[in-house]
Amino acid sequence: MESAALVVACWAAGQVRTSWTVVDAVVNVVLFVVVAPAYNYVLVAVLVVGLASTRLRWIVVIGWVVASVYAVVGVARANGPLWNIRPNAVSLAFVPVVPWLMARQIRAAVVRMDARHAEVIRRAEDLAARSLMIM
């Protein structure tokens, strides 16, 4: 329910706010401790955190905190095969960096496209002004 609320809030705001994804990560950590680690659900939440933030440092910190809590709770509860906890925890620590890199590339491409668009508009205005001078 909490993630559905996050999706609706982001959709309504027209953006994904970093603070909201941090709250989402904190809620997931609390759910780990209270309920049990649910790798698939947490993986998606950590991916969203990677997309939302522009600071790699926060992505790495959040990923490692979530991974650490996942590992500790998983071992303490032993509610799954123990051999699976280490690779899952490692993936939770590093997976957020991938969407962060993708989002970074997309943001850079948008900036380049905006600059090109502004240049096209400037040239069109120059051509329009010249054609008015010729008449």
Band of pLDDT at residue 44, cut at 50, 70 and 90: confident
> What is the distance of C-alpha 92 from the center of its chain?
13
For 67-85, the pLDDT digits (tens) are 888 888 777 777 556 777 7
User: CB of 38 within 8 A of CB of 14?
Assistant: no
| 42 vs 66: CA distance, rounded Å | 8
Angle at 101 between CA 96 and CA 102, to 5 degrees: 100
Asked whether 85 and 44 are in contact (CB, 8 A), the reply is no
CA distance 22 to 25: 5
Average pLDDT, integer, range 12-33 = 75
Helices (H), 1-135: 2-13, 18-34, 39-52, 56-77, 82-94, 97-134
Given a cut of 60, whether residue 37 has pLDDT beyond it is: no
pLDDT at 29 over 80: no
CB 51 within 8 A of CB 103: yes
Residue 27: CB partners within 8 Å, gap ≥ 6?
Answer: 2
What predicted TM-score, i.e. pTM, was given to this entire model? 0.61
**Torsion over CA: 119, 122, 128, 129 (sign):** negative
Residue 35: predicted pLDDT: 66
Taking Cα atoms as reference points, which of 12, 11, 2, 21 lies closest to residue 99?
21
pLDDT digits (tens, 9 = 90+) for 113-127: 999 999 999 999 999
